[in-house]
């Protein structure tokens, strides 16, 4: 081949509703590595992109939340399979995004693959851990079961563009929610490439939607959106988190405050189950026993 061959630069796009649109605004911004070298142009999402992502997430929620926990686990495991198959690409992108050596970037990607497998294994077990039969006085069965909250906005951590991203997205969808993800503003490329993995992993379109751009500009309309049921503020600084939490109170969204896995930014630590249960609601059903009849009630 000729030594003068020009490289084919990748065009990064958003991931919304299982498709790869450009920002409706037509805007892009430059993404550079840790040394200031240009890497690519990323789409700068607009308010309209945010609204489109919520619409796609809501449309996908019924099917995803209604799927069996076992099926969701299979799909999350498939994501890990597909990510493993594109390991070299993500090692390169993570190394450039986070200023890591190739070996350290490989460790991050491997940890991200393992994190998908971790949550895949939890999908059909979390109900037994946080639900169950409750002791009550009287001739009743009293059973509590967890249900997904709904559409959740996830602000990915700024300092860990990939492992942190997976660590906040995977538990949201493992629990049966759908997600609108705002990628790290400075290092969005691994997140946008993750959309390509999700699109080929059997995950239904709209379950995860990925936006890039200025975090505050995208997050503000999402926090105030009446069809968003929860928001994870991990990627927001203290000032922005306060503003978004106030906006989220307008329709009583469930809010997860900024925190890393262990509270100190170590995303390699044991993730536990607190993120898995952060966007679950508890449904309690009362059912009479004995001679009271077969009808029951719930609240």
- Quick: pLDDT tens for 30-43: 999 888 899 999 99
What crossing angle do the helices spanning 102-122 and 87-98 adopt, rounded to 10°?
120
* pLDDT of amino acid 262: 38
- Quick: pLDDT tens for 221-277: 999 999 999 999 999 999 999 999 999 998 889 999 865 443 446 898 888 889 999
Please tell me the CATH superfamily of domain 28-298, with its number.
Aldehyde Dehydrogenase; Chain A, domain 1 (3.40.605.10)
- Quick: pLDDT tens for 119-151: 999 999 988 787 667 677 777 776 667 889 999
Question: CA-based angle 98:99:105, to the nearest 5?
Answer: 70
* pLDDT of amino acid 261: 40
282 — pLDDT class (breaks 50, 70, 90): confident
Domain boundaries, the chain: 28-298
The arithmetic mean of pLDDT across residues 111-120, rounded, is: 97
Measured CA distances, 54 to 104, 124, 166, 244, 286 (Å): 35, 26, 20, 16, 34
Measured CA distances, 122 to 81, 87, 276 (Å): 17, 24, 9
Mean pLDDT is lowest, of 13-22, 198-207, 285-294, for 285-294
298 — pLDDT class (breaks 50, 70, 90): very low
Burial of 234 (C-beta count, 10 Å sphere; 0-12/13-18/19+): buried
* pLDDT of amino acid 1: 53
Contact at 8 Å (CB) between 283 and 147?
yes
* pLDDT of amino acid 134: 66
């Amino acid at each position: 081949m000729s030594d003068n061959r020009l490289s084919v630069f990748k065009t990064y796009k958003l991931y919304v509703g299982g498709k790869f649109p450009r920002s409706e605004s037509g805007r892009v911004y430059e993404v550079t590595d840790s040394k200031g070298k240009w890497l690519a142009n990323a789409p700068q999402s607009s308010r309209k992109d945010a609204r489109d992502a919520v619409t796609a997430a809501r449309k996908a929620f019924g099917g995803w939340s209604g799927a069996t926990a076992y099926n969701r686990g299979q799909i999350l495991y498939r994501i890990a399979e597909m990510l493993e198959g594109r390991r070299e690409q993500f090692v390169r992108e993570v190394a450039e995004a986070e200023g890591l050596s190739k070996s350290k970037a490989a460790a991050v990607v491997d940890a991200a693959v393992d994190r998908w497998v971790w949550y895949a294994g939890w999908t059909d077990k979390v109900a037994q851990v946080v639900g169950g039969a409750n002791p009550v006085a009287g001739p009743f069965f009293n059973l509590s079961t967890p249900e997904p909250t709904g559409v959740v906005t996830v602000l990915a951590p700024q300092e860990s563009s990939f492992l942190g991203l997976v660590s906040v997205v995977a538990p949201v969808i493992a629990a049966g929610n759908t997600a609108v993800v705002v990628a790290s503003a400075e290092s969005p490329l691994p997140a946008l490439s993750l959309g390509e993995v999700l699109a080929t992993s059997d995950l239904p379109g709209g379950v995860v939607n990925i936006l890039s751009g200025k975090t505050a500009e995208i997050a503000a309309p999402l926090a105030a959106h009446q069809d968003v049921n929860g928001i994870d503020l991990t990627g927001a600084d203290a000032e922005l988190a306060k503003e978004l939490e106030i906006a989220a109170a307008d329709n009583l969204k469930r809010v997860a405050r900024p925190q890393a896995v262990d509270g100190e930014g170590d995303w390699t630590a044991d993730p536990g189950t607190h993120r898995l249960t952060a966007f679950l609601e508890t449904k309690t059903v009362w059912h009479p026993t004995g001679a009271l009849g077969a009808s029951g009630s719930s609240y």
